[in-house]
Homo-oligomer: A and B are copies of this chain.
Amino acid sequence: MTESVLDYMTRLGQAARQASRVLAQASTAQKNRALQAAATALDAARSELTAANELDLAAGRAGGLEPALLDRLALTPARIDGMIEGLRQVANLADPVGAIRDMSYRPSGIQVGKMRVPLGVIGIIYESRPNVTIDAASLCLKSGNATILRGGSEAIHSNRAIAACIQQGLAEAGLPAACVQVVETTDRAAVGALISMPEFVDVIVPRGGKGLIERISKDARVPVIKHLDGICHVYVDAQADLAKASDIAFNAKTYRYGICGAMETLLVDQAVAAAFLPAMAERFRAKGVELRGCARTCALIEAVPATAEDWDTEYLAAILSIRVVDGLEQAIEHINQHGSHHTDAIVTEHQGHARRFIAEVDSASVMLNTPTCFADGFEYGLGAEIGISTDKLHARGPVGLEGLTCEKYVVIGDGQLRGQNG
């Protein structure tokens, strides 16, 4: 790491820490004013945003960036609309900061409760999708956290242009500029510095592929909210309504192949496999989904024989592995062993089976008669999400504003002393 990048990041860190103290005390109205003003600024800066984005796109094309990455990089008018709309939506969300709960008297006479407060400073590391800059900045701002944003270097001009609009919003609301800082250098050492400053950064949220997240988690000295794979299952129980099961499984796989809540493996109780699988397979095949099956599956339908690897694979594509299981027990065992503890569903009308599946499947979201593709902060009512955590500590599942806060104890007395009140 060169000295100058480290110095630069330390300066950002110190400024963020200072700004976080101000932002933590900002009123809801003030934070909303900043969000609304940033939205207005974005709307007024459409041509500047497009021009800046053109610089990134041209450099990307010249550098031979893949079409899929160029597509993500593009700030189309619709995406600018989306960013503006996103800012306004976040402004409309309830502010979690300051809520006090469970305040109660203890035998000693003191009152003890918990107050929700911002985490402090959040570092976001993401790939070259400029709209993430607004997503992340708005959620952190609303939850009272200062943020340091480190986007992919291919989007640097776009991110600077977006940052200028956010700065306008902060200024209009009278909030410090350092509430939202975009890392201006494309030097990779900046990431190393950002994840190694626990004195200035309270948590890192990486947004991007599994490789990025694993790399960051390995090296970070700051806690990381991780979002790893979604190897999601739908289990069709012996007591399932098979018509419902077909719709749920089809929706879980085909709503969108590329989302982490997409079903990757279908488990079917052997008692209903012969009745269920042929028509189900037909439906998937008509949609162009490649099927890979266990031996019992391949005896019932046409499918590529699945290898051991298939059960541990997140395809994120029009491929589905299918396994016929002996029953509920084996389904739960399969999910806990091969799944990624993200989102898993049972289809059944049997109350006892549903109860066991919900209790015993060790995943961030456990679903009954619902397709796994519902795993999403908006669908869950969080208003927005910064990611879906596959960690167990702190935040598990879709992470919204609450996941960007923590609780401190508030203790109120009137001179009670310890060891003197019985």
Contacts and interface: CB of A to CB of B under 8 A. Distances in A.
A366 B417 CA distance: 16
A191 B322 CA distance: 41
A56 to B, nearest CB: 31
A213 B308 CA distance: 40
A394 B380 CA distance: 21
A247 interface: yes
A117 B97 CA distance: 26
A380 B203 contact: no
A244 B104 contact: no
A25 interface: yes
Kindly report how many copies of this chain are found in the complex they form together: 2
Contacts of A416: 370, 374
B106 A409 contact: no
A108 B379 contact: yes
Interface in A10-45: 21, 24-25
Contact of A415 (B244, B360, B365): B244
Nearest to A347: B415
Query: What range describes how many residues of A lie at the interface?
Result: 35 or more
A370 B400 CA distance: 34
Nearest to A97: B359
A119 B373 CA distance: 25
Given A21-B336, A119-B392, A418 B255 contact: yes
Contacts of A241: 415
Contacts of A244: 414-415
Nearest to A364: B408
Given A365-B411, A397-B408, A112 B380 contact: yes
A264 interface: no
A55 interface: no
A278 to B, nearest CB: 21
Interface in A42-61: none
B368 A106 contact: no
A247 B371 CA distance: 60
A196 interface: no
A421 B97 CA distance: 32
A112 B381 CA distance: 8
Contacts of A412: 367-370
21 contacts: A24-B359, A24-B360, A110-B379, A119-B392, A223-B393, A248-B415, A255-B417, A255-B418, A255-B419, A345-B411, A362-B408, A366-B409, A367-B410, A368-B411, A369-B415, A371-B418, A374-B418, A393-B394, A394-B394, A396-B407, A397-B408
Given A21-B362, A120-B362, A120-B392, 8 more contacts: A108-B374, A112-B381, A223-B393, A244-B415, A368-B410, A375-B409, A375-B411, A396-B408
